[in-house]
Amino acid sequence: MAKVDLNEMYANLGKIGEGVPAVINAFNDLHSAAVSDGALSDKEKELIALGIGVAVHCSYCIADHVRSCVKAGATRQEILETLGVAVMMGGGPALAYATEAIEAMEAAGI
């Protein structure tokens, strides 16, 4: 399995932002608004985002949202249960991508 380099992704997002800053700024605003505390905590919202990333097979989303889940205080068990729901929704392909979340958790030390 290829390793995801989030630093490379962030650098390339910066390059996209140089060309279309309004798009990147709007996306960043959307992201901030979507994961900010409300009826659901930022941790719960990041867990949802991780589950969706697994279900839609986005390696960068998985790595980024595992990092965000950990930062928001998610436990290993909470992340594992999120992966279980994602697999239920996405089937076998989601199960394969869930293994990337395990790698990201281990890299984060949880």
Predicted pLDDT of residue 1: 52
DSSP string, the chain: -PPP-HHHHHHHHHHHHHH-HHHHHHHHHHHHHHHSSSSS-HHHHHHHHHHHHHHTT-HHHHHHHHHHHHHTT--HHHHHHHHHHHHHHHHHHHHHHHHHHHHHHHHHT-
Taking only the tens place, the pLDDT of each residue in 10-43 is 998 999 999 999 999 999 999 999 999 999 999 9
Predicted pLDDT of residue 28: 94
Residue boundaries of the structural domains of the chain? 6-108
Domain 6-108 -> CATH class = mainly alpha
